[in-house]
Amino acid sequence: MAHILNIAQKDLLQLLRDFKTFLFLLLMPILFTFLFGFAFGGFSSGSDSRLPVGYLDEDQSWVSEQLKFLLNRSEVIRLVQDPSSSHQKLEQMVAEDKLAAAIVVPSRYGKTFLRDRSLRLTVIAKGGSAAWTTVEAALLSAVGRLDSAARTAFIMEEITNGHIPYRYAFDRCLKAWAASPIAVIETKSPALGEEKSSNNALAHTSPGMMLQFAIAGLMTCAQILVGERKSRCLQRMLTTAINRSTILFGHALAFFTLVFGQFLLLIVFAQFILKVNYLRLPLATLVVAFCAALCITALGLLIGTLARNEDQAVIFSLVPMFILAGLGGAWVPLEVTGEAFQRIGHLSPVAWAMDGFKNITLRGLGFNSVLVPAAALVGYAGLFFALAYWRMNRLQEG
């Protein structure tokens, strides 16, 4: 045991003297968490993202009020009304891109709409732009519903000989449009509380970047094993009472301490700075972090025993980082991909670690939800360690 601790202490001192280790294990994951968080809206203020559209009602009829009601229900445009607005002011605001478009309801629009629909709305927009295409679709949808309600109300008044008044039928038709025939009910675990949706992006990018750069940091760890062989330090140790298993476990303890320490620091940072709720289930978070660190440690040992020189150590660390992180959903959630890609992605241990962390921070699941991901990570750790031990036994002593 003393030999294992001595080897681990030697490795840790060597690793912590290297500034690149600090850069990769702490600064880079924090930097990329912020970068991906901004990219996926993790720091959005939650403000209305709909296109602003000016609305000037010169008619002030109940028909124009119903049109405004329909437009206000749009999920893509947001009406902006200013009592002091005019045609010229709206044109200027559209030209300066302060408004995506502007809609002017001319006087007597309601009366002509009910009689012969000869009077048209005035729309101010930059034709051909993507914003205008969106506004046009929303406006046509609203006017189409208004027209359908008017036609339906006229027919109902006719066939009932006036027993159903036109205005009553018109209002009922519009209310029917507002009530969707299909209702989607979203349920959320009460364990999650009232979290902001903007934190969802950070709850994904935080563990993703943490895992990615933990694997990237293995290049420094692997270089220690390579340097040990090149300097013939390994050969000299093997001439003593220290066996290969002791050497391997000593390196493993150092690597594990470094990676697990990285995880703890980044989890604390994400919890208190980024508001990612890792500490909702502290024990579950520790279990996933422990098993993930164990798996990455074993992978580092395997890389260190496979690499023949420092260049190979770098390549053998970076290539798995990109492959395992990409497949495992560290960059883009696997939930948005197809079922086939999700199954392929779970060939990567990163996917299991992501599942474990997100079950805690995003899905509101209990402690049992991390047991399967943890078991998968331990299984990968056993496989990598067995391969590293086999490779170590094949190394030439001379």
Within a domain: 354? yes
- b/e per residue 52-75 (b: at least 16 CB within 10 A): bbbbbbebebebbebbbebbeebe
Among residues 144, 178, 212, the one where a domain terminates is: 178
Among residues 142, 163, 178, the one where a domain terminates is: 178
> Are 247 and 237 spatial neighbours (Cβ–Cβ below 8 Å)?
yes
Q: Looking at the structure, tell me whether residues 315 and 170 fall in a common domain.
A: no
**What CA–CA distance (Å, rounded) separates 313 from 311?**
5
Which residues are CB-neighbours of 46 under 8 A, at least 6 positions away? Answer: 196, 197, 198
Task: For residue range 370-397, list pLDDT tens digits in order.
Answer: 999 999 999 999 999 999 999 888 765 4
pLDDT at 288 over 90: yes
Q: Looking at the structure, tell me whether residues 38 and 63 fall in a common domain.
A: no
Among residues 178, 211, 235, the one where a domain terminates is: 178
Q: Going by DSSP bridges, is the β-strand pair 122-125/77-80 parallel, antiparallel, or unpaired? A: unpaired
Q: For residue 105, what are the β-bridge partners?
A: 57
Alpha helices in the chain (DSSP H): 2-16, 19-22, 28-39, 62-72, 87-95, 109-115, 130-159, 166-178, 199-216, 218-230, 233-238, 244-272, 282-306, 310-327, 339-345, 349-361, 371-394
Within a domain: 190? no
Q: Looking at the structure, tell me whether residues 225 and 360 fall in a common domain.
A: yes
pLDDT at 81 over 90: no
Q: What is the mean pLDDT of the chain?
A: 82
The pLDDT score that the predictor gives to residue 184 is 52
Q: Looking at the structure, tell me whether residues 171 and 240 fall in a common domain.
A: no
pLDDT band at 197 (very low <50, low <70, confident <90, very high): very low
Within a domain: 218? yes
> Are 36 and 205 spatial neighbours (Cβ–Cβ below 8 Å)?
yes
Q: Looking at the structure, tell me whether residues 235 and 254 fall in a common domain.
A: yes
Q: Looking at the structure, tell me whether residues 171 and 214 fall in a common domain.
A: no
pLDDT band at 339 (very low <50, low <70, confident <90, very high): confident
Q: What is the mean pLDDT of residues 103-114?
A: 83
Total domains present in the chain: 2
The pLDDT score that the predictor gives to residue 194 is 45
Q: Looking at the structure, tell me whether residues 32 and 131 fall in a common domain.
A: no
Within a domain: 15? yes
Q: Looking at the structure, tell me whether residues 38 and 74 fall in a common domain.
A: no
DSSP state of 107: T
Q: Which of 308, 310, 296 is nearest to 258 (CA)?
A: 296
- Compute, in degrees rounded to 10, the torsion defined by CA atoms 306, 261, 331, 305: 0
Q: Looking at the structure, tell me whether residues 65 and 23 fall in a common domain.
A: no
Within a domain: 33? yes
Q: Domain limits at 99?
A: 51-178
**Three-state DSSP state, 125:** strand
Within a domain: 20? yes
The pLDDT score that the predictor gives to residue 375 is 97
CATH number where 109 lies: 3.40.190.10
Question: CA dist 84 to 63, 110, 398, Å?
Answer: 22, 22, 90
User: Dihedral of CA 32/33/37/40: which sign?
Assistant: positive
Q: Looking at the structure, tell me whether residues 14 and 93 fall in a common domain.
A: no
pLDDT band at 152 (very low <50, low <70, confident <90, very high): confident
Within a domain: 192? no
- 266-275 long-range contacts (CB < 8 A, ≥24 apart) are 266/26, 266/29, 266/30, 266/206, 266/210, 267/210, 269/30, 270/33, 270/202, 270/206, 270/210, 274/33, 274/37, 274/42, 274/199, 274/202, 274/206, 275/199, 275/202
Of 99-108, 156-165, 194-203, 300-309, give the lowest mean pLDDT range.
194-203
pLDDT band at 49 (very low <50, low <70, confident <90, very high): low
Within a domain: 171? yes
What percent of the chain is modeled with pLDDT above 90? 19
The pLDDT score that the predictor gives to residue 297 is 93
The pLDDT score that the predictor gives to residue 117 is 67
Highest mean pLDDT among 63-67, 146-150, 155-159, 264-268: 264-268
Q: Looking at the structure, tell me whether residues 60 and 140 fall in a common domain.
A: yes
Which residues are CB-neighbours of 86 under 8 A, at least 6 positions away? Answer: 56
Q: Looking at the structure, tell me whether residues 135 and 263 fall in a common domain.
A: no
Of 136-140, 156-160, 197-201, 252-256, give the lowest mean pLDDT range.
197-201
Q: Which residue carries 């050497």 as its tokens?
A: 247
**What CA–CA distance (Å, rounded) separates 93 from 101?**
9
pLDDT at 183 over 60: no
Amino acid in position 175: K
The pLDDT score that the predictor gives to residue 354 is 94
Task: For residue range 228-284, list pLDDT tens digits in order.
Answer: 777 777 767 766 767 778 888 888 898 899 889 889 988 998 899 888 899 999 999
The pLDDT score that the predictor gives to residue 187 is 54
